[in-house]
A and B are shown apart, each in its own frame.
Chain A
Amino acid sequence: MKTIKEGFEEGLEELAKHKDLMVLGSIKKFSEKHPNKHVKIPDIGIAQGIAHEGKTPFVLSSGLGKNWAQIKEICTNNQNVKIVDTEEEFEDIAIARVMPNMKVIIPADYHEAKKATIATGTTKGPVYLKLLKEKTQITTEKSTFTVGRMEILKAGKDCTIISNGPALHDALNAAEKLSKQEIDCTVLDCHTIQPIDKHALITSARLTGCIVTTEPITKGGLGSAAAEVLSQNYPIPVRMATPDSIVTEVKTAVMQKCEVCGEMIEEHGKKLQTELRPELYFRLHSGEIIKSIPGLHKALLTMKEETFTYHCNPNKNDFSTWIKEAFKEPELAKNVEKLHTKIGLMLELIKWSK
C-alpha cells in the first residue's frame, strides 16, 4: 500500500512540471531531482519572500505554533504560501481553521494526498495541508476531489457520519456495523475543513436528520466546523465522536484513539435514533412508524391506497402538517398540502431532496 507521504511527493513531481514551484525543508528525493526548486531551510518568512516573487512555495513545517505570527500575516495578506505539516499534533488543525483566507485540507490516503497536493499548488492563497499516517486505502484513482467539497463514500437515510483523514476508515467500519442493526448511514469525506462544504452538510442534515462527526481532535476541528454551520442554518442533533482528552504525541495512543472513535460513532449513531424526539414520529393508520422525510418516501412506495387516503384526502393532509411541525419545512409542507396522489407526493419529495 502506498503511503500519504508518497502521494504528496508524487503530487509535487507532477506540480514541478507545470508550476513555478519551490519546496522549503528536507525532502530527499525531490531535492536530488530538482536542486533548483529546493531550499533547505523550512522558514515561513523566507517562503513569504519567495511568494512575493510570484513563485509557489511549499514549506515542510513542523507545526504552526512556532511561526504563528508569520502565519497570521500570510493569511491576512492572502499570500500564496502553502504549509505542509506532517506532525502528529492535531490542535494545529483547529488554529489553522480560524484564520481568514486559509484553506485546511486533510487527505485520507495515497490517492487523495496526491490529488490534494496538486490542488494545493494550483489554488491561490494560503493552504494548510495536514499529512497524517494512513490506515487503509479508502479512495481510488478515479474518485473525485475538489477543494471545498465533500465526497460521498456511502449513502444512507438514518444518520450521517462525517470524517476526514485516516479516521474515515473507522467511520466506514462503524457505518457497516450500524447497517447490520438496520441503521442506514451516509458517510461523507470532508477533506477540506475550511472552507467547509455548507451545501452538502445542510442537504445531508435534511435527508438524515442527525450527524455524527469523528476526527482525532477534540475541540475546534471538523466537529466544530459542522456544528457552526448547522446551528445557524439547520439545527439538528450533532454529536462529536471524539474522546475528551487532547491527543498526546504518542502514536500508539492515536491509533487506540481512532478505535475508540469507531465505538463512539456506533454508540452515538444508535443513541441519536432514539433522541430524534419520538413524539414527532409519524404513526400510520396501519401501525407503521415513519421517522424522516426520506423514510416517508420509502413508506409511500409500499403504502396501501386506503392508508394513504386515510391520511391524505381533500379534507386533510396529515403529511403536510407533520412535515411542517416535525421538520420545520414550511415550503415543502405548502407544496405537499395541495397534493392528493401518492405519485405526486413522491415526486415532490424527490424534488425536495435534490
Chain B
Amino acid sequence: MQQIAKNIRKDTIKTIAIKGGNPAVNLSSADILTTLYFKMLNHNPRQPKTGDRIFVTEKLTPVWQTTLAHAGYYAKKKLIENAELPKGTQFALSNAIGSAIATKIDGKEHHTYCITTDSELDWEAIRIAGKQTLKLTLVIDRNNLSKEGFMDIEPLRQKIEAFNWNAIEVDGHKIEHIIEAVQEAKNFDKPTAIICHTIPGKGTFMENNPEWHNKKPTKEEAEKAIGELK
C-alpha cells in the first residue's frame, strides 16, 4: 500500500507539472485516496456507476485522476494527454448529500463518500446533512494549508460535532488508522466526518511550505520531487 501511494504521488507530480494544480495539497491526500480505492471502497472499474459513490473536491482533481488510473479505470497515459477525465467539483459535499438521499429513497445498500480539503469545507452543506440520517462519510484532508499560508479553523472537530455529525480524528498518513476510521464510520446512522491530519507536500521538498499551495512545478522541480519519493 505504501508503495502504491508513493507511485500515485509521483504520477500526480508529473500530471501537475503538465496541467497545473495544487501540488502540496494533492500530495498530502494521496494516502487517503489510496486507502479508499485499494482497500475500503466497494467499486468496480469496469462498471463505474455501481458500488460505493465517491465525490471529490476540485482541488484534489489531479490526485484523484491519478488514483483512478492506478485503480484501473483508464490507461495511465491518459493522465498526461488531453483526455476527458472525471473532474472534482466545488460542490462535492452537497452532491454527495443528494446522492445519499436518492440512495436512501431507493433503499440501496451502497455508501457515499466525499473527500475534501479543509480549505474547501462547505459549511452550508454540513448544516443540511446534519439534519438527515444518511450513509455518508466525509473525509477531510486536514493539511492546514491555504493560499495565504497556514490557516486556523480549530476547533474543527467541535464545530462539526455541533452540526450533529460524528467526528473521528486520525493521522492521515497512517494507512491502518484510516482503515479503522472508515470501518467505524460505516456503523453510524448519522453522517460521519473523518478528520485526517496530514502534512502538505508529504515526502518532498514542498513539505510544509505554503509557497507550494498553488504553484506549477517546473520540469526540474518535478524531477527533484519524484527523486525524493524513491
Contacts and interface: CB of A to CB of B under 8 A. Distances in A.
A193 interface: no
B164 to A, nearest CB: 15
Interface string A26-46: 000000000011010101111
Contacts of B98: 43, 45-53, 57
Contact of B91 (A45, A50, A57): A45
Nearest to A35: B105
B99 A45 contact: no
A69 interface: yes
A53 B94 CA distance: 14
Contacts of B106: 53
19 contacts: A37-B105, A43-B128, A45-B95, A45-B125, A46-B97, A46-B128, A48-B91, A48-B94, A48-B95, A48-B98, A49-B96, A49-B101, A50-B101, A53-B99, A53-B103, A69-B90, A70-B90, A73-B89, A73-B91
* A-B residue pairs, 8 tightest by C-beta: A49-B98, A45-B94, A46-B98, A53-B102, A49-B99, A49-B95, A45-B91, A50-B98
Contacts, number: 65
Interface residues of A, number: 21
A37 B106 CA distance: 10
B53 interface: yes
Interface string B73-92: 00000000000000001110
Q: Which of B55, B94, B100 has the most A CB atoms < 10 Å from its CB?
A: B94
A8 B100 CA distance: 27
A338 interface: no
Contact of A70 (B53, B55, B91, B100): B91
Q: Helix, strand, loop or mixed for chain B's interface?
A: helix
A302 B146 CA distance: 81
B102 A49 contact: yes
A69 B103 CA distance: 25
A39 B101 CA distance: 9
A51 B101 CA distance: 11
A22 interface: yes
A65 to B, nearest CB: 16
B102 A55 contact: yes
Contact of A49 (B90, B97, B105): B97
A36 B104 CA distance: 10
Interface centre among A36, A46, A51, A57, by most B CB within 10 Å?
A46
Nearest to A36: B105
Contact residues of A: prevailing secondary structure: helix
B94 A52 contact: no
Contacts of A44: 94
A136 to B, nearest CB: 39
Contacts of A50: 98-99, 101-102
A69 B55 CA distance: 17
Most buried by A among B95, B98, B103: B98
B91 A41 contact: no
Contacts of B97: 45-46, 49
Given A51-B98, A70-B91, 15 more contacts: A22-B102, A43-B125, A46-B94, A46-B95, A48-B89, A49-B100, A49-B101, A50-B98, A53-B102, A53-B103, A55-B102, A57-B98, A70-B90, A73-B90, A73-B91
B209 to A, nearest CB: 30
Central interface residue in B89, B93, B95, B106, by most chain A CB within 10 Å:
B95
Contacts of B53: 52
A252 B229 CA distance: 69
A50 B106 CA distance: 11
B99 to A, nearest CB: 4
Nearest to B96: A49
B101 A46 contact: yes
Nearest to B124: A43
A44 B122 CA distance: 14
Contacts of B122: 45
Contacts of A49: 55, 94-102
Contacts of B55: 49
Contacts of B89: 48, 73
Contacts of A52: 53, 95, 98-99, 102
Contacts of B125: 43, 45
B57 to A, nearest CB: 12
